Amino acid sequence: MKNRLQERRAGLLLHPTSLPGYRNHGDLGSEACRFIDFLAACGFSVWQTLPLGPTHANASPYQCLSVHAGNPELISLDDLVVRGWLDEVGADTHAALVKARQGFTSRADQASREALLDFCQRHAFWLDDYALYQAIRREQQGASWYTWPEPLRNRDSSAITAFQTAHADDIEQACFEQFLFFVQWHALRDYAHQSGVALFGDIPIFVAHDSADVWAHRELFFIDAAGGLDVIAGVPPDYFSETGQRWGNPLYRWERLADDDFRWWLERFRSQLELFDIIRLDHFRGFEKYWEIPAQAETAVDGRWVEGPGAALFDRLAKEFGDLPLVAEDLGLITPEVDALRRKLELPGMKILQFAFDGGPDNPYLPHNHESLAVVYTGTHDNDTSLGWYRGLDAAGRRVVDDYLGLPSEPMPWPLIRAALASVAELAMLPMQDILALGSKHRMNVPGTAADNWLWRFDWARVDPQLIGRMQHLITLYGRARR
């Protein structure tokens, strides 16, 4: 499996929900195009997002209702007005999308109607189950599938048929919303490509318990007869949490997946490769060994390591898709076995500069220890902003950072940004918060916490008029300008 990142590039990390706009989150409309214009003007050639799926109430993109679907909340309502399918933008997204479908039914041209039919046919391998799941979930007032009435929970054929007949409109609505999302995303991807910008996505290794995927494929997960869990996913104690992280996801029956020739994973990659040019594999170490936690445990401390699929899954993916543009998120407790698997697959790993300045000169995150087969970050969506991180260090910690970076005269986070761009790593990724020099209150997520995450947004008023020229200069200076 060859690495496709064959030239020095730089990019920005920003989830679409963080884009500006009049709604309470960003979307795939004009502000997304404006952001691509900004990327291109600065010299960036990669836009990295978090997973794009429909979320639960906590808005975490790492616990989605589907591994294939797009989040309907990201659909640009303004675009639907322009297309003539929606008369006006309302405050409620779902209500607006229902009206858009009515407008589509009465006013769409033949080409659009055929495009909808073609979309539903090509994506039936996941869309049929997802649309049915969403319709039942709505009828059940948002309840998780494992609390539904037993015939629906267990997909009894007569109960499913009766529901499909009674709620055909809701099922078709869910399909229509996915059509809109994919149409808008493809238009955005085309616009990005015309601007020389590649789209960088994210595949979480695990799937949310309450998801269409687990409901429709219970045989592939460790799920009991009532839909409950005896063991769950997470990670042991690390630099993010002293008690580890108890994620709560169901764990895979890898032997059963392998017996089916990894078809479920092939389908998952097929839908994501339609959306992205580069894909990050979140929690890559779980493919070598994963942390199994008793479901009744209050923390992740009392877990155990269990063998994952190793290279077998990736060999099957390579056979199906050829060379894949993957990046391994190899953070946390990385053993020689995990590193050997990544190197065997020739996948770039991740180097986080905020992790670099303790442990001495052998710390693998220090720039002098980087390798070209890597993606370097100042920080990720799980870190504090780089300015907030630096301010949070004690005086001795700041002296170490300043000394390593050459006692810079520039204020933070610019010395760290320069270090990332100067690294030999093929790709350098910067969170939007860092090039805006924002503090801790602007961080995206605090791992291990449930409240007040995934809400951050930026405003164009915060973008200094000199920023584009400054980034052009730095990206060119460190050999990361687009060719």
Q: Which of 404, 441, 56, 51 lies closest to 211 in space, CA to CA?
A: 56
What are the tens digits of pLDDT across the range 336-361? 999 999 999 999 999 999 999 999 99
Q: How far apart are CA 41 and CA 38, in angstroms?
A: 5
Rg of the chain's alpha carbons, rounded to an integer? 23
What are the tens digits of pLDDT across the range 254-267? 999 999 999 999 99
What are the tens digits of pLDDT across the range 111-146? 999 999 999 999 999 999 999 999 999 999 999 999
Low-confidence ranges of the chain (pLDDT < 50): 1-2
Q: Which of 348, 410, 353 lies closest to 378 in space, CA to CA?
A: 353
Q: How far apart are CA 367 and CA 353, in angstroms?
A: 8
Q: Would you state the pLDDT for residue 178? A: 98
Catalytic residue among 292, 315, 371, 382: 382
CATH number of the 9-70+182-477 domain: 3.20.20.80
Q: Is 382 in the active site?
A: yes
Strands 374-377 and 427-431: parallel
State both tokens at 14. 């920003």
Catalytic residue among 288, 329, 330, 426: 329
Q: Would you state the pLDDT for residue 202? A: 98
Q: Would you state the pLDDT for residue 420? A: 98
Catalytic residue among 27, 79, 129, 282: 282
Q: Helix, strand, coil % (nearest 5) of the chain?
A: 45, 10, 45
Any idea which residue has 């799937």 for tokens? 207
Q: How far apart are CA 363 and CA 377, in angstroms?
A: 15
Q: Would you state the pLDDT for residue 189? A: 98
Q: Would you state the pLDDT for residue 333? A: 84
> Hey, how many other C-beta atoms are within 10 angstroms of the C-beta on 480?
24
Q: Would you state the pLDDT for residue 259? A: 98
State both tokens at 376. 């370097």
Any idea which residue has 């659909």 for tokens? 75
Q: Would you state the pLDDT for residue 113? A: 98
Q: Would you state the pLDDT for residue 50? A: 98
Q: Would you state the pLDDT for residue 4? A: 55
Contact indicator for 223, 250 with CB cutoff of 8 Å: yes
Q: How far is CA 468 from the centre of its chain?
A: 26
Q: How far apart are CA 308 and CA 306, in angstroms?
A: 6
Q: What are the sequence ranges of the domains in the chain?
A: 9-70+182-477
State both tokens at 337. 């076995």
The pTM score is 0.96
Q: Residue 399: CB partners within 8 Å, gap ≥ 6?
A: none
Q: Is 320 in the active site?
A: no
Q: Is 282 in the active site?
A: yes
